[in-house]
Every structure is written in C-alpha cells, then in structure tokens.
Amino acid sequence: MKKDISRNFFRYVFEFAVAGFIGWLYEVGITWAMYHYFENRGILHLPIVPIYSVGAFILLAMLRKKRNPVFIFIFALVVTTLFELGSAYLLEFIFHKQFWTYHNWYFSILDRSSLISSAIFGLLAVAYFYVLHPLSGKLSEKLPKPVCVGAGLTISAVIITDFVISVYQLLKDR
C-alpha cells in the first residue's frame, strides 16, 4: 500500500527537525564538554543544525534498503566526512566565514572534519536508520491525516522562515 503524500511530507519534515535538533544537541554538548561554556551552534535561530538533517537525507537516499548496522556505520563515516568537507568549503566560499574547525582535534582532516566526528556521525546514522526513521513512519501512520498536514506545514514554514532570515543576516554581515 502506497503512503499518501501528506503523511510522507509530515514524516520527512519531522525527521528533518529531529535530526537537526539532535545535531544541535551534539554541537552544544561537544562545545560544553571541550570548552566548558554554552554556545548556540548553527546558523539558525532555532535549535536546529540543518547540515545534520541534509546529511541524514543524503544517507537515506543512498541507503534505501535496510542494511547491517556495521555497513551503515562505515558507509556513513565515509559519506559524512566527504559531505562535511565539501559543506565547510562551500559555506566558507558563500559567506566568507569559517563556521567550524577541527584544528585541535585528533585525526583532523584539513581542519574541516575529523575521524572522531565522522565516527560519531556514523553512530548517529545507525540511530537514524534504526530509531528515528522507523519512529517517524509509525508516527505518520498513527496521527490523523489533518494533524500530519497541519504539523508538516507549520514546522516547515517555521524552519523555512528561520532559514531565510538567518541566511539574509549572514549575507548582510559578510
């Protein structure tokens, strides 16, 4: 049975928001653990780091079938390293600003990634495929269709609005 578009829309908006929020928690937690202060990480005003969401969706597009967690971990480690490197240089080119550095991390890769962070992204990818993605599927099936439509539209409108405002501010400040 094919899912209807409103339930799929809600599912992926929900996954985008949750994956981005988990990324934000990770970024804030790492900063707190390493430097002992709170720093609101990411470019949005919301507690969402979109690069984590986009990375999750790239992996989802590449790994449509259920896979072994070890394979997901290794595959995600490689793909997220390349994605993080490419994203870092692209964002620096667009905004003339360095958003992150790994210069003081062990196993740093060009100061834009690290094998340690990539391993963490691999673990997050396994959690995405085995926890978040199945959970969003169940949630989208259980919620009434009008709730899926309303929540999907509201969450996406809030994120898109924040994204537009944040990018505008970054471009204005460069």
Backbone angles phi, psi at 109, to 5 degrees: -115, 105
DSSP three-state, residue 56: helix
Q: In this predicted structure, what is the pLDDT of residue 35?
A: 86
* Distance separating alpha carbons of residues 96 and 127, to the nearest angstrom: 34
Q: In this predicted structure, what is the pLDDT of residue 34?
A: 87
Backbone angles phi, psi at 82, to 5 degrees: -65, -40
Q: In this predicted structure, what is the pLDDT of residue 1?
A: 44
In 3D space, the residue among 144, 84, 90 whose CA is nearest the CA of residue 115 turns out to be: 84
Question: What pLDDT tens digit does each residue of the chain (174 aa) get?
Answer: 456 898 999 999 999 999 999 999 999 999 899 889 988 888 899 999 999 999 999 999 999 887 899 999 999 999 999 999 999 999 999 888 888 888 888 898 988 999 999 999 999 999 999 999 999 999 999 999 999 999 999 999 999 999 999 999 988 887
**Domains of the chain, residue spans:** 5-173
Q: In this predicted structure, what is the pLDDT of residue 3?
A: 62
Q: What is the pTM of this model?
A: 0.91
Angle formed by the axes of helices 133-142 and 5-35, to 10°? 140
Q: In this predicted structure, what is the pLDDT of residue 2?
A: 57
Q: In this predicted structure, what is the pLDDT of residue 72?
A: 96
